[in-house]
A and B are shown apart, each in its own frame.
Chain A
Amino acid sequence: MKEKLTSFLQNKWSQVILFTLFVVITSLSLYLSQKSVVAFLLLLASLLVLYYMKLKNLTKWIVSAGILFILLPMASSGGPAFQSYMEVATMVGIYVAMALGLNIVVGLAGLLDLGFVAFFAVGAYSYAIFATPQASNFMPFGQYPLGGESFWIFLIIGGICAAIAGVLIGIPVLRVKGDYLAIVTLGFGEIIRIVFNNLDRPINFTNGAMGISSVTPPSIFGFNLVFPHHFYFVTLLILAFTIFAVLRFEHSKLGRSWKAVRENEIAAQAMGIPLVKTKLLAFALGATFSGMMGVVFAAKQAFIDPTSFTLLESFTILVMVVLGGMGSVPGVILGAALVTILNLQVLTELTNWVNQLNLSGMITIPDALSPAKMQKLLFGLLLVIFALYRPIGLIPAKNKKFDESKLKSSNSLSIDRENSVAIDKDNV
């Protein structure tokens, strides 16, 4: 017994020591080297390692918060590539939050939504329009652009706008199920993009295909947020809120009602779960997180146009959810991080490398075959491979484990029943 206990402790502590060593080495090499994508990715991967360690949940949260808020920005601040690291990390954060939003709709409620990027667009435009002179085209009162402080209010407004869009799209769309739902949402996703593309006439709301440029940077206490590492922290905070909220939803009566609707609509309804309301709520809440990140995206890019919200974006987010594991919060976070990094780091690095080879004249690869243009092919392959060989995703969804001892009570019904059964038998 004692041996077992000590070996267990050893196990846990050896884990901690190895983990610390890993983090220290990766952060140091990231800090000292001029540009080391590998070290950067390994430091991010330490969070995945942390997930599988035998530690308390709270400890894991604190350690990962420490790595993301302090260690990662500090370690990557060494070289000239600091801003590009922060840019990638910010995009990872934005996509993770969106994927978590889509996970509510697809993973929990089982509604295949192929137009999810529409809500991201609604959030982005809601801030972009009011943080530029664009709004004075149609607003009878007020001074535009609004100041950078309004960004914080727009985080909420953007979320609410996206939620309203979710409900408005949901009301007609949720009459159909399965494949039909996928097609209809795909259509609506495109409709929203095309509407933004054409809403420059008769009144110029969105400036059409030209896009909206020089969006006012957010500011806090008079300090303007312009660099990617500023947005990194903003994204991280919103992401923290998103993860927190999504985890709460998942194991609440709401999450259960979504899963029930996913598993069997007729039975869910017979248990008193209103179908339309539950589905609309999934649409609206999923859209909210997407809309909030849309606001951050608009502020970060300082320029948005309809081409940022194409069908490919919707597919990308869906791939993240399917790859990670439908309905699984840690899975979706991993999936979103992997796909974003693949998109922004791996493919870009590969393209750079291929370009260098081209320049040096060693081989010639036509521009059309450059890795950055392989996105659709790769995502398609990933979807097919995962659908065939691992439909549950990288980290499959887990059900909540209930502690039996906490639920036991002294006056259980079964004892009563056994007694009454005994009496019945006596009577017979």
Chain B
Amino acid sequence: MSVKVFERPKALSDVIFHYCPGCTHGVIHRLVAEAIDELGVQGKTIGVASVGCSVLAYNYFNVDFQQAAHGRAPAVATGIKRCLPDRTVFTYQGDGDLASIGTAEIVHAAMRGENITVIFVNNAIYGMTGGQMAPTTLIGQSTTTSPGGRKPERAGRPIRMSEMLSQLEGAAYIARVSTHNAAQVARAKQAIKKAFQAQADKKGFAMVEVLSTCPTNWGMTPREALKWLEENMLPVYPLGELKTEPGLPEPSAVKTTVPTREVKTE
């Protein structure tokens, strides 16, 4: 007798994540690694880590990596991809990195139609620095720099990067997905794989915004955080494909698998 057991993707290193309990970075790392495995591009992939909780991403992916300055990952990825156009290049950025300090870099990478894949993890807060307000923080959401809740008259309103970037002709694929339940995680996987496929097909700039939780800085249990994401973030950040170039598959047509291995049992 043997059974199939859940297996680590080859593109994910066999090390322990530093992420807080209940944080969905681990899930998203796994989805990216699975997509790399399924497309068979591990040996020709170069990742670009950003600054934020995912700053150590280079320790977690079993591929070549460059660590970029805060917000500059799309510029670094541009340099790599232009020199090595047949390689797979992706950035992994949080919302402070991409939607605040790195707005110029992400907008212009999309404008140029850089043939790269961007994984944009949005948890509506600065995680690594201890829970400060991000441009993506919701109205009324309390953070260390918006005590008592974000007030629009003081700090504006949440920025919707996917909607903004989908206006640019250079953007081939822009989607927003979430990680708050298993069904959404499966859809997130399809979108991430599609974003890597878009790069393989030389379609241009592809970005998947992944809504994520930060139980530590939101001050919630992991379960409460997933519920909070569903109830509060989805109305502000609606899920779906905002832009998809002709020739890319329907999301439901993106076939994905889960890595498993056979284990003998008595």
Q: Bound pair: A and B?
A: no
